[in-house]
Amino acid sequence: MKQTDYVILGLLSESPLTGYQIKRIIDIRFRFFWSESYGQIYPRLKSLQIQGLIEETDSTIKRNRSQKTYQIKPEGLAALLHWLEQPVERESVRIELLLKMYFSHLITADTMVSHLRGFQEAHEKDLQLIQMAERELKAIIGKDPNHPYVLRVIDFGEKINEAYINWSRETIKFLESRREK
Amino acid sequence: MKQTDYVILGLLSESPLTGYQIKRIIDIRFRFFWSESYGQIYPRLKSLQIQGLIEETDSTIKRNRSQKTYQIKPEGLAALLHWLEQPVERESVRIELLLKMYFSHLITADTMVSHLRGFQEAHEKDLQLIQMAERELKAIIGKDPNHPYVLRVIDFGEKINEAYINWSRETIKFLESRREK
DNA sequence: CGGCGCATGTAACTTGTTACATGATTCC
DNA sequence: GGAATCATGTAACAAGTTACATGCGCCG
């Protein structure tokens, strides 16, 4: 059982989904703290099914024949709960931009500023997406018992992205003031 | 050439180092945005040497026979500069704690609070290490042309870790207020 | 009828970690 | 003499990405 398995089980604990939908949800809702590729998701879905933790829904009314919707089984929920109770292990962060910033006395300020702008813009977009998700959620708040917790996660995304953006702005200013001299 | 190669080249551009020292520097100075294992570093050092980008220093006065100190060659510096100018590509963040927070309506508030405390403490330690590095650097500021840039990276580490810690505190409060009801 | 979004899947590859073996030097 | 730290290295494994192949349904 790897981390990917638990993400899948977690999402399936909310509602039945296809592999494609799982990927999309992770890309949108989890984008600021998680990612998965199809190359991870599809083989894991198969494995979880073989282990008897999830199953295909037998919806005979299939609009699209090439579509498999999975739902969680009690065994899967048990595995999920067990994992949730285990201490948190890994946390991995790799920010190439900071590596370049660290060594940036070797390049021109202009080049570094352009890297920073890219970073800032990417996180401004992220922040907008998160704020959109927040508004959508607040419109239907309470419909699901997980909403308050999801809101805390969204709050994390906002704070961190704001910090990223502010730091970028300050650093660009710093580089520009140096360039003038 | 992979990312690990450039981290190594970057560090060797400042001073000659052994593989062991490289690992230690990454663990201490880059801990909040990067990591490498020996299993990555040693094979890459060999490969960089074969490519002619770095070389062993021929210090005949070797205190420790089983020690290889590498230094960067002009070709290696050129490769480093080229990489620094390329647009930043990857940024990967994986925070298991947020995954658990997202699904935490399935577990007790106590369990989640304990996960959060672990997270908070880990980042309080990180922040202390960063602030120590900052003080040390400010004591010798200006001795190296990269200092102002390094300081910007340190500032990033402080801001982000402070944001992590504040968020943890708020989230713990939130969970504790819920538990009382 | 062409393009886009939905949808599944895999093989080859790259990347990264862990566990282990080995041994010198330093410090108490 | 024993523990800690410095030091190198690899093999097995685990994790993750990319590129590709395939095809349906919908919209304009």
pLDDT tens string, chain A, 181 residues long: the values are: 999 999 999 999 999 999 999 999 999 999 999 999 999 999 999 999 999 999 998 665 555 567 899 999 999 999 999 999 999 988 999 999 999 999 999 999 999 999 999 999 999 999 999 998 899 888 888 888 899 999 999 999 999 999 999 999 999 999 999 877 6
**What residues does each domain of chain A span?**
3-85, 96-180
Residue B171: pLDDT over 90: yes
Strand C positions closer than 7 A to protein CB: 6-12, 14-20, 23-26
Quote the pLDDT of residue A178. Answer: 82
Protein-contacted positions of strand D (CB under 7 Å)? 6-12, 14-20, 23-26
Across the interface, do B94 and A34 touch by the CB < 8 Å criterion? yes
- Across chain B, the runs of DSSP E, i.e. the strands, are 17-18, 54-56, 69-72, 91-95
For position A62, what pLDDT does the model report?
Answer: 55
Decide if B4 touches A, using CB distance below 8 A: no
The residues facing A91 across adjacent strands are: B95
Predicted confidence at residue A59, as pLDDT, reads 63
pLDDT recorded at residue A118: 95
Q: Which of A121, A135, A124, A119 is nearest to A161 (CA)?
A: A124
Q: How many CA atoms lie within 13 A of A169 on its CB side?
A: 8
Instruction: Report domain B3-85's class.
Output: mainly alpha
C-beta of residue B124 within 8 angstroms of C-beta of residue A124: no
- C-beta separation of A123 from B156 below 8 A: no
pLDDT of residue B137: 87
pTM > 0.95: yes or no: no
Cβ atoms of residues A139 and A108 within 8 Å? no
β partners of residue A18: A69
Measured from Cα to the C1' atom, the residue closest to D10 is: B39
Core vs surface per residue A45-59: b (16+ CB within 10 A) or e: bebbbeeebbeeeee
Phi, psi of A51 (to 5 degrees): -75, -5
Strand, helix or coil for residue A54: strand
A143 touching chain B per CB within 8 A: no
Q: Residue B25: which pLDDT band, with cuts at 50, 70 and 90?
A: very high
> Tokens at residue B8, please?
């190594």
Helix or strand or coil: residue A30? Answer: coil
Helices (H) and strands (E) in chain B, counts: 7, 4
> For B155, which residue in chain A has the nearest alpha carbon?
A167
A136-148 b/e (C-beta count within 10 Å ≥ 16 → b):
ebeeeeeeeebee
Q: Please tell me which of the candidates A6, A93, A146 has its beta carbon nearest to residue B105.
A: A146
Nearest to B25 by CA among A92, A48, A117, A103: A103
Taking CB atoms and an 8 Å limit, are B33 and A98 in contact across chains? yes
Half-sphere exposure of B132 (CA within 13 A, CB side): 8
Beta-bridge partners for B70: B17, B56
| Nearest nucleotide by C1' position to the B40 CA atom | C16
In the 46-85 segment of chain A, residues within 7 Å (Cβ) of strand C are 46, 64, 66-69
A93 touches strand C (CB under 7 A): no
Q: Which two tokens stand for residue B20?
A: 């062991």
List, as ranges, residues 6-35 from A with C-beta within 8 Å of B: 6-7, 10, 13, 30, 32-35
Chain B residue with CA closest to A34: the answer is: B94
A22-26, A36-40, B55-59, B138-142: segment of lowest average pLDDT:
B55-59
What pLDDT score was predicted for residue B163? 98
Q: Which of residues 8-47 of B touch strand D (CB under 7 A)?
A: 18-21, 24, 38-39, 42-43, 45-46
Q: What is the pLDDT of residue A89?
A: 84
Q: How confident is the model at residue B90 (pLDDT cuts 50, 70, 90)?
A: confident
Q: Report if CB A66 to strand D is under 7 Å.
A: yes
Round to a whole number and report the distance in Å from the CA of B85 to the C1' of C3.
Answer: 36
Q: Decide: CB of B126 under 7 A of nucleic strand C.
A: no
Nearest to A99 by CA among B71, B8, B51, B44: B8
* pLDDT of B143: 83
- Helix (H) / strand (E) element for B144: namely none
What gap in Å lies between CA A82 and CA B80, rounded to an integer?
46
